[in-house]
Structure 1
Amino acid sequence: MSSAQFFNYPGTEINAEQYHYSQAVKIGSIVRTSGQGGWDEKGGITSDIEKQIELAFDNTLKALQAVDSELSFDNIYAIRSYHTDMEASFNIMTTQFKKLFPNHRPIWTCVQIGKLALEGMKIEIEAEALLPA
Structure 2
Amino acid sequence: MSNLQYYNETGAGQKHSDLCHYSQAVVLGDIVKCSGQGGWDNTGKMDANDLKGQIDLAFENVNRVLQTVGLRGWEDVYSIRSYHVDIGASFDYVSEKLKKRIPGHRPIWTSIGVPRLAFPQMLIEIEVEAYKGRDAHL
TM range (shorter): over 0.9
- Aligned partner of 2:79 in structure 1 is 78
- CA distance in 2 between partners of 1:20 and 1:108 (Å): 27
Q: Report the number of matched residues.
A: 131
Q: Is the 8 A contact 1:33 1:60 kept in 2?
A: yes
- CA distance in 2 between partners of 1:18 and 1:48 (Å): 24
- Shift of residue 108, structure 1, vs aligned partner: 0.3
Question: Could you tell me which of 53, 64, 68 is aligned with 1:51?
Answer: 53
| CA RMSD, 1 decimal | 1.4
- Aligned partner of 1:113 in structure 2 is 114
Say if 2:102 is the partner of 1:101: yes
Letter in 2 for 1:93: V
- Shift of residue 71, structure 1, vs aligned partner: 2.2
- Aligned partner of 2:91 in structure 1 is 90
Q: TM-score, normalised by structure 2?
A: 0.90
- Aligned partner of 2:62 in structure 1 is 60
- Aligned partner of 2:31 in structure 1 is 30
Q: Is the 8 A contact 2:15 2:44 kept in 1?
A: no
- Shift of residue 91, structure 1, vs aligned partner: 0.6
Letter in 1 for 2:9: Y
Consecutive unaligned residues in structure 1, runs of 5 or more: none
Q: TM-score, normalised by structure 1?
A: 0.93
Consecutive unaligned residues in structure 2, runs of 5 or more: none
Helix, strand or coil at the partner of 1:104: coil
Give the percent of matched residue pairs that are identical in Structure 1 and Structure 2: 45
- CA distance in 2 between partners of 1:17 and 1:88 (Å): 32
- CA distance in 1 between partners of 2:92 and 2:133 (Å): 30
